[in-house]
Amino acid sequence: MRYVIIGTPTRISRIGLGTWQFGSREWGYGQDYAGREARAIVRRALELGVTLFDTAEIYGFGRSERILGEAIGEDRESAFLATKIFPLLPVAPVVEQRAVASANRLGTRRLDLYQVHQPNPLVRDGTIMRGMRALQRVGLVGEVGVSNYSLDRWRAAEQALGSRVLSNQVRYSLVDRSPERDLLPFAESTGHLVIAYSPLAQGLLSGTYDRSHRPGNRLRAASPLFLPENLDRAGDLIATLREVAGAHSATPAQIALAWVIHRPPVVAIPGASSVAQLESNVAAADIELKEDEYQVLCEAATRFRPVTGPAVVPGLLRARFS
Ligand SMILES: NC(=O)c1ccc[n+]([C@@H]2O[C@H](COP(=O)([O-])OP(=O)(O)OC[C@H]3O[C@@H](n4cnc5c(N)ncnc54)[C@H](OP(=O)(O)O)[C@@H]3O)[C@@H](O)[C@H]2O)c1
């Protein structure tokens, strides 16, 4: 495992574990996964040196936090625990009360990273950051982070907090490179972190799926990315991933992750539906892509033009009712 050294008491693994899948209906992995496999995934992650674990109060309405906290158990000090508040009512007392509730579900007295899940479109961040400051003062929160923030809003949040807002958790993968415009350069030049979510494009980049084998769960069935036409269009990108993977005796998923963390300010938090996937994802931290391999992947990503916008509606309806 490789780590980011960024002034936190626990170092942050370049590959972490996302736990939206734990106990959430959208992913549909079922009872056995929530009750047994999820715990085994966390235990194996700890053994392999993963420190970064990401959850949120809304994942499975608190179930993800509970499952994660129980699985980490005695090994709390080896983990860098990150959770998120959903800023429906972003005023300081609510923030404080919600942080305590998350900490209780996680079975911890410290949230290493407390993130605002998404910007509240109506309320600026002054009030929420007042709550965050109070939580840091009493030691319940280590670092403050944001998620799905633009660069301007990330900076404004930092100004409101009066100290660093360590990270911005955003969608970043070979199928969505928008953070490269300004978030990555900002993080790289100022000692901040970009936490890449959906780094495998929810499994698309593993090459497991195609037109005749689409994922069954309702989250991905409703995702434009997994429409038959877009799966066809992703064929060239998957083929390029396979080609690079061949040179590393790796899988397309591992190369997709190695690509995401190629640039220094990025760490990735792939989810996993099995221990085997987790092991494979962790091993990706040790793959060093050559500069020409990185570029070939960037070019294949640029060629991938999925159908988007209103044009996807007929396809989604067909997929829903077929
Ligand atoms: N802040 C936010 O707004 C936000 C939004 C989304 C996610 N997140 C966080 O980011 C985490 C990861 O994102 P995500 O779950 O959306 O997408 P992801 O990590 O890109 O995809 C995860 C899925 O890919 C498949 N997969 C994982 N490893 C694999 C491997 N080695 N080989 C083949 N398939 C593999 C699994 O699905 P199958 O096996 O079923 O194919 C798994 O459930 C979440 O758990 C959550 O913590 C945050």
How open is the CA angle 223-226-232, to the nearest 5 degrees? 150
pLDDT of residue 317: 67
Provide the sign of the torsion angle of the four alpha carbons 259, 262, 265, 268, taken in this order.
positive
Mean pLDDT to the nearest integer, 76-94: 94
Protein residue whose Cα sits closest to atom 10 of ligand 1: 197
> Looking at 29, 33, 59, 197, which residue is catalytic?
59
- Give the pLDDT band of residue 308 (cuts 50, 70, 90): confident
Q: Using CA atoms, how far apart are residues 138 and 158, in angstroms rounded to an integer?
A: 19
- Residue 286 alpha carbon to ligand 1 centre in Å: 19
DSSP code for 197 = E
Distance of CA 148 to the CA centre of its chain: 11
Q: CB within 8 A of 101, min separation 6: which ones? A: 57, 62
DSSP-derived secondary structure for 24-84: -TTTT-HHHIIIIIHHHHHHHHHHTT--EEE--TTGGGGHHHHHHHHHHGGGGGG-EEEEE
- Give the pLDDT band of residue 322 (cuts 50, 70, 90): low
- Residue 21 alpha carbon to ligand 1 centre in Å: 8
Burial 186-204 (b: 16+ CB within 10 A, else e): bbeeeebbbbbbbbbbbbb
- Residue 50 alpha carbon to ligand 1 centre in Å: 16
Protein residue whose Cα sits closest to atom 5 of ligand 1: 197
Residue range 122-148, pLDDT digits in tens:
999 999 999 999 999 999 999 999 999
Burial 151-162 (b: 16+ CB within 10 A, else e): eebbebbbebbe
Residue range 92-116, pLDDT digits in tens:
999 999 999 999 999 999 999 999 9
- What is this structure's pTM? 0.96
94 contacts 131 by C-beta, under 8 angstroms: yes
- Looking at every residue in the chain, the average pLDDT score rounds to 95
Q: Which atom of ligand 1 is nearest to the CA of 277?
A: 31
Protein residue whose Cα sits closest to atom 4 of ligand 1: 197
DSSP code for 193 = E
- Residue 131 alpha carbon to ligand 1 centre in Å: 30
pLDDT at residue 315 tops 70: no
176 contacts 225 by C-beta, under 8 angstroms: no
pLDDT at residue 319 tops 80: no
Q: Is 294 a catalytic residue?
A: no
pLDDT of residue 218: 84
pLDDT greater at residue 218 or residue 274: 274
**Residue list, ligand 1 pocket, CB within 6 Å:** 18-21, 54, 117, 147-148, 169, 197-203, 206, 208, 215, 253, 269-273, 277, 280-281
Q: Which atom of ligand 1 is nearest to the CA of 147?
A: 1
Q: Which atom of ligand 1 is nearest to the CA of 280?
A: 31
Burial label for 121, CB within 10 Å (0-12, 13-18, 19+), is: exposed
Residue range 119-128, pLDDT digits in tens:
999 999 999 9
Q: Which of 200, 204, 251, 281 to mutate to test the pocket of ligand 1 (most atoms within 8 A of CB)?
A: 200
Protein residue whose Cα sits closest to atom 16 of ligand 1: 198
pLDDT of residue 133: 97
pLDDT greater at residue 119 or residue 319: 119
pLDDT at residue 71 tops 60: yes
pLDDT of residue 177: 97
Nearest to 29 by CA among 58, 60, 52: 60
pLDDT of residue 167: 98
- Give the pLDDT band of residue 217 (cuts 50, 70, 90): confident
Residue range 241-268, pLDDT digits in tens:
999 999 999 999 999 999 999 999 999 9
pLDDT of residue 62: 97
